[in-house]
Structure 1
Amino acid sequence: MVCTCTQQNYNLFIGALFGACVYDKLNLAAFIISWVSIVIQFIAQYPQIRLNFIMKTTEGLTPVYVYSFLICDVVGIVSLFMLKAMITQFILQFVYLVQDSYLAIQIFYYRNSTKRVNAQTTVNKLEGTIYFIIVSLLIELCGIYGVQRSKHLKLFPNEFQLCYSRTQENKTLRITGTVLSYVSVPFIATAFLAQIIKNHKTKQMEELSFVMFSTFLLGGILQTVSIILDIVYYNNLAKQVGFLLVQVLPILANVCVLIQFYVFRKKSK
């Protein structure tokens, strides 16, 4: 993963830890914001996965929502590869794929073999402490590794290969990747439309995680900002506009779902 860049003024820590070339403040801002978004999105679906596991049900989620996201994840990864997008976009899409795959497994398992369980779903102090310790250790280990490897990279740059290039020279791959980035958009729209319609019909939100949708909203906003900064830096609007739509649509849809949480919970009281 450690690599060196063609220009000399690149960020050694990021090159050593993430294998990416970051040169100036704008480039660095896009990278940091994108990684904050990844962390947030990584956390986002866990509350829903946890809720499904505790209650032994996935009735709150419509299968169309999860399966449409799965298709979008696969198409998105292929498109990102063809267009040579930001490394952080690859990582985020992979996070989506893993989490959505787990949700799909839960839907298949719980709807075919178990019954709903009424149980306490709030996070207790012990569980919260364990999460905090795990996250802290991961951050510390990444920091230590990055510092040590960046020192080695500075002293012996010739030992490492050049970092991943963002330029796609193959016209066929560039066009195909761009088309696929737009193909993801209707699947995203279908996923959220199906979930919003289901929520409206049932007017029940107890089996959905408010934290998941609110965290998705925040992560989506940050990722959108990161993509916009990348567009400004590389002047690559044509390459990124499809991925931009894939982030903007969920932002709007998550706002709708959060409004449903507020309205339906208020009515139930």
Structure 2
Amino acid sequence: MSTSDALSGILGWISIATWVVVYSPQIYENWRLKSGEGLSVPFVVIWLLGDLCNLVGASMAGLLPTVIILALYYTLCDTILLVQIYYYRWASRTDGDVPNATFHQDADEEAPLLASSDARHPGDEKHSSMKRQCLEYSAMVVCVVAAGVAAWAISEKVGHVEEQPKEGEVVEWRSQLMGYISAVLYLGSRVPQILKNLDTKCEGLSPAMFVFSIMGNVTYGLSICVSSMEWEHLVVNASWLAGSLLTVFLDVLVLGQFVYYRRAQAGSTVGQVERREVR
């Protein structure tokens, strides 16, 4: 096996490992908050449609069963997110709770500040919280990378076969069409979420989902490019490359929103404490 094939295989397995866990942080966050209001419904619906097109395209192209199983898994996870959103909305109405109460906890945040003047400075707590979160995400990324490398090593040891000469790649228009539709849907899905974040300030949204999404898309795109930079190879995989690498830009924008709103929130909290101390 050539170095490029080995590296492509490793990146591909890391991508698979990443996509297996990408939905987990948001599903957990919804369960923890008992609310799915941090997610934009159009975002999840369009993402679901993109995954369905990806599933159909993979089936038409005759890709490996593992790829098709993963596409089915993504579709299931999208459905779980939608079920969470509407279930918690229904539960909120049934219990008589105020909708979106999760995102308006100013009174709860101020209560301990008023109760004790010896409390830690909120700015320090926010900095410590963000530092801890960064360490947690770094540890998760390392674990996912390790799992991907281990999966590649096992697949090579268990399913190793003699290397066959590569056949010429053929552009099959039906699977290509589904691939391009999927790419457009993946790109379009981020727009309603970005707009919703302007209202919710990213509350109820898990940044880990977008960290893993970026990681999965980057490693997937690199696995295609590392395998071969020949023109026919790039043309055949152009739709999947576009859907993966262009989506990264919008996911980075979402993470930028997280950073901006967390800093703004920390600055607002510090300002409130300083005004109380002056009084």
Same fold (TM over 0.5): yes
Letter in 1 for 2:12: S
CA contact (8 A) 1:52 1:106 kept: yes
Compute the TM-score of the two structures, normalised by the length of structure 1: 0.69
Deviations 1:159-200 (A, max 9, x none): xxxx9x98787x8xx111111111112211221001001112
Q: Given residue 41 of structure 2, which amino acid in structure 1 is its aligned partner? A: P
Question: Are the structure 2 counterparts of residues 166 and 66 from structure 1 closer, same or farther at C-alpha, using a change threshold of 3 Å?
Answer: farther
Whether the 8 Å CA contact 2:13–2:151 is kept in 1: the answer is: no
How far, CA to CA, are the matches of 1:84 and 1:262 in structure 2?
Answer: 41
Q: Once the two structures are superposed, what CA deviation does each residue of 1:189-218 show, in whole Å capped at 9, x if it has no partner?
A: 221001001112x15222001111122112
Q: What SS does the corresponding residue of 1:232 show, helix, strand or coil?
A: coil
What corresponds to 2:25 in structure 1? Answer: 47
* Fraction of identical pairs, as percent: 24
Contact 1:76 1:184 in 2 (8 A): yes
Query: Which structure: larger Rg?
Result: 2
Partner in structure 2 of residue 105 of structure 1? 83
Q: Which amino acid aligns with 1:247?
A: S
Which structure 2 residues correspond to residues 28-43 of structure 1 after superposition, within 5 A?
Answer: 28-43=6-21
Correspondence for 1:226: 223
| Contact 1:55-1:117 at 8 Å conserved across structures | no
> Higher relative contact order at CA 8 Å, sep ≥6: structure 1 or structure 2?
2
The structure in which a higher percent of residues are helix is 2
Give the superposition deviation at 1:87: 6.2
- Note the C-alpha offset of 1:112: 2.1
1:190 match: 188
Change (3 A) 1:167 1:64: farther
Distance 1:144 1:32 in 2: 8
Q: Distance in 2 between matches of 1:110 and 1:166?
A: 51
Matched, 1:254 2:232: no
Q: In the superposition, relative to structure 1, how do residues 54 and 241 fare at CA in structure 2: closer, same or farther (>3 Å)?
A: same
Aligned match for 2:176, one of 170, 175, 178: 178
**Structure 2 gap ranges (5+):** 103-131, 133-139, 267-279
Letter of the 2:220 counterpart: Q
Q: Does 1:211 align with 2:208?
A: yes
- How far residue 95 of structure 1 moved from its aligned partner, in angstroms, is 3.7
Counterparts of 1:83 and 1:110 in 2: how far apart (Å)?
A: 38
Does the alignment pair 1:236 with 2:233? yes
Query: Which amino acid in 2 is paired with 1:33?
Result: L
Aligned length: 228
**Given residue 112 of structure 1, which amino acid in structure 2 is its aligned partner?**
W
Aligned with 2:19: secondary structure?
A: helix
Counterpart amino acid of 1:45?
Y
Counterpart position of 1:13: none
Structure 1 pair 266–203 and aligned structure 2 pair: CA distance change class (3 A) = farther
Shift of residue 96 of structure 1? 2.2
Structure 1 unpaired stretches of 5+: 1-22, 124-130, 158-162
Would the aligned equivalents of 1:69 and 1:100 in 2 still touch at CA under 8 Å? yes
- The structure-2 alpha-carbon separation of the partners of 1:166 and 1:44, relative to structure 1 and needing over 3 Å to count, comes to farther
Q: Deviations over 1:9-63 (max 9, x none)?
A: xxxxxxxxxxxxxx43212211210111111222222111001011111100011
Indicate conservation of the 8 Å contact 2:52/2:75, yes or no: yes
Q: Does the 8 Å CA contact 1:83/1:239 hold for their aligned counterparts?
A: no
Question: What's the TM-score, normalizing by structure 2?
Answer: 0.67
